[in-house]
Amino acid sequence: MAEVTVIDEEFLRKRAEHNEGMLSTLEEITLHQLNITRIENIDKFCRHLKILYLQNNLIPKIENLHKLKELEYLNLAVNNVTKIEGLSTCESLYKLDLTLNFIDLDVFKESIEHLSLCDNIKEFTLTGNPCTDWKDYKDYVIAKIPQLRRIDSTDITRSMQILAEQRLEELEEILAKKAEAVRYKKETEPVDLNAFNPESRMKDYQDDLEQKRQAELNKPKNPFEVSEEFLHKRDGPPSVYNEDGEIRQCNEGRYDFKITEDEDNDRVLVELFIPKYLTTDLLDVDVNPLYVRFDVKGKITQFRLPEEIEVEKSKVERSKTTGGLLVICPTVYKRPRNTKEAKERREEYKKRRMLEEMQEEMKEKFDSKEEAKKPEPKPKELEQLPEPYDKKEEEPYEPDFDLDELPDLE
């Protein structure tokens, strides 16, 4: 595991290679899986940033983003964030992803009230946070943030807003009691380092870092002695495409899997059965239109999908009982829902195809007629001959003497 990454100007320029290292005009930057523990200097050097990816790090606090007036999308999934803060001046913020963090009910009210100050916020993801154990958390968020249009992949309807606003007073009372219970539990019970919490994540990271340091110290000192680990070490993960240019299919971890085409719901389901107690920090899922790629403890598992899917509408779920991963991928092609609709589509296709064929046939006939009207070119030998003699244009012969004066012939 790599050491802690410090965000400074040099580091940001390296990550901005797609913009030729220019930070003043940078609009998007990806800083995921870099063991970042603190957000800093981004608002100082990247004032025009619109999209910021910080998922899968060790960030405990949202800070130093108040100068990013043009920031539209912030992804802080899989971090150690315990409270929503530091975003009230991000006036362009449209989408916030806080999947798998540690926002609990003791700070839930303050967090939601803070987010409501972002006038343009439309999409918000809280899946996997402790606060989502409260069954009414969505209604509370909808009532407190009226400008929101989507929460945890669910579109907010007008009726949902009305019902949530009507229940707001009741929800406030319920939340106050639950928040007090959470505070009491945190004050009286010691931190469990074996549970999944910010402290255990940091401890696991430090333990892994220490193991790496010990491994470095125990490396063979003989320059001619090659360690077994080096012999089996590869240059990098397998590429997406094989030598023939086709999407690679591989399963380095030898995990059981299942790919299902759910035609009734126009989607493809990809299941990967990984160990139940494997921490989420060691997992990464990359969903693409034609394939799904899993990174489990550095081992790649990649499947080619049977048909093209919609990446933005796809979602990843993990079973609480088995620990398995489920990727739900809506397909681009939507199948007809009944035979009548299917028949109408076929008839429409036949008519359209027949019309196209008739148009092509008429065009061919028209082109052939135009070609026939054109005069045939003359051979070069005929072009050099004089024009033919036209007798119709010849004038009658008139003698220039009197015929009566001619002598008689004997």
Question: Is position 63 within any domain?
Answer: yes
How far from 234 is each of 188, 215, 237, 282, 299, CA to CA, in Å? 49, 18, 8, 19, 11
**Helix or strand holding residue 9 (H, E):** helix 9-15
Does one domain contain both 170 and 34?
Answer: yes
CATH number where 58 lies: 3.80.10.10
Residue 116 covered by a domain:
yes
Nearest by Cα to 96 from 61, 122, 70, 119: 122
Q: How far is residue 328's CA from residue 287's CA, in Å, rounded to a whole number?
A: 10
Report phi then psi at 15, rounded to 5. Answer: -80, -5
How much is the pLDDT for 205? 81
**Tens digit of pLDDT at every position of the chain (410 positions):** 456 789 999 999 999 988 888 999 999 999 998 999 999 999 999 999 999 999 999 999 999 999 999 999 999 999 999 999 999 999 999 999 999 999 999 999 999 999 999 999 999 999 999 999 999 999 999 999 999 999 998 999 999 999 999 999 999 999 999 999 999 998 888 766 667 788 888 888 888 878 878 877 776 655 545 455 544 555 667 888 888 888 889 998 888 999 998 877 888 999 999 888 788 888 899 999 999 999 998 889 999 998 889 988 899 998 888 888 999 999 887 766 556 666 676 677 678 878 888 888 888 887 777 776 666 665 555 555 555 555 555 556 566 555 565 555 55
Amino acid in position 189: E
CA distance 277 to 64: 35
Rounded CA-CA distance 39/212 in Å is 25
Which amino acid, 393?
A: E
Do 141 and 28 share a structural domain? Answer: yes
Stated pTM of the model: 0.53
Number of domains in the chain: 2
Q: What is the pLDDT of residue 253?
A: 86
pLDDT for residue 353 = 76
Q: For residues 148 and 161, what is the distance between their CA atoms, to the nearest angstrom?
A: 10
pLDDT at 193: 61
Examine residue 168 and state whether it is found in any structural domain, yes or no. yes
**In the numeric block, which tokens belong to residue 384?**
């050099």
In a domain, 97, yes or no: yes
SS3 121: coil
Based on the domain organization, do 158 and 57 belong to the same domain? Answer: yes
Residue 374: inside a domain: no
Domain limits at 169?
9-188
DSSP 237: S
Give the DSSP H/E element, type plus range, for residue 216: helix 198-217
CA distance linking residue 250 with residue 268, whole number of Å: 19
pLDDT of residue 376: 62
Which residues contact residue 154 at a Cβ distance below 8 angstroms, ignoring those fewer than 6 apart? 138
Provide the pLDDT for residue 5.
Answer: 83
Contacting residues for 80 by C-beta, under 8 A, at least 6 apart? 58, 59, 60, 101, 102, 198, 201, 202
pLDDT at 198: 83
Dig out the tokens for 132 from the structure.
Answer: 């989502």
294, 180: one domain: no
Res 27: pLDDT: 94
Beta strand pairing call for 325-330 and 315-318: antiparallel
